[in-house]
Amino acid sequence: MQKSAKTVAVFDIGLSVIELIAAMIFESKEVTIMTPEDEDQTVEDLNYIVTITLLFSILLVILKITQLCVSILLLYGAVEKDYRKCQVWFIFGCVLIGIAILLIIFETTVRDTLVTDDTEMWMRVIIPISEILVNWYLMWVIFAFMRELKREGATASATVFLKEKEEKA
């Protein structure tokens, strides 16, 4: 199982690098803010929309950098058989799935109505959905590895306890 965990870690590092590069490229392209025919919309409203979109893009890049760091931590955890390092990655994976769900909601509701983009809607939604599915599988493998580490830890401590008990007798 350790070999599977190492493979997942290396795959996740590669995936994180690709996602970081993609986030930096796609989030830096120019977008056009749609202005409805409504005269009530002010320049402040448009500035707010631009600010939210820019903030979202910056946070996405920071998230991808953090994901890369946590993936490297997972590799160390798999090599060293460190339960806590794997657990950090697992918890971060749960957070990523939650963020991907929020991203789908953001793309289909807010961004689609306020920002025109050359990217088709299905393309902006299929990426987070595929990320959810891939992360779910990777988390399943790491969860199995963590259970194995826990069992080995329990077995090792039970063996030490029994040896100490035999020595006293």
State pLDDT tens for residues 44-68.
666 666 676 677 778 888 888 998 9
**154: pLDDT strictly greater than 60:** no
99 vs 26, more confident: 99
Domain spans in the chain, listed from the N-terminal domain onward: 2-168
Under 8 Å CB-to-CB from 99, ≥6 apart: which residues? 63
Three-state DSSP class for 145?
helix
Three-state DSSP class for 152?
helix
Residue 92, CB-side half-sphere exposure with 13 Å CA sphere: 22
Task: For residue 85, give the nearest of 95, 69, 73, 67 by alpha carbon.
Answer: 73
119: how many CB neighbours lie within 10 A of its CB? 12
Highest mean pLDDT among 59-68, 81-90, 121-130: 81-90
Burial of 6 (0-12, 13-18, 19+ CB in 10 A): middle
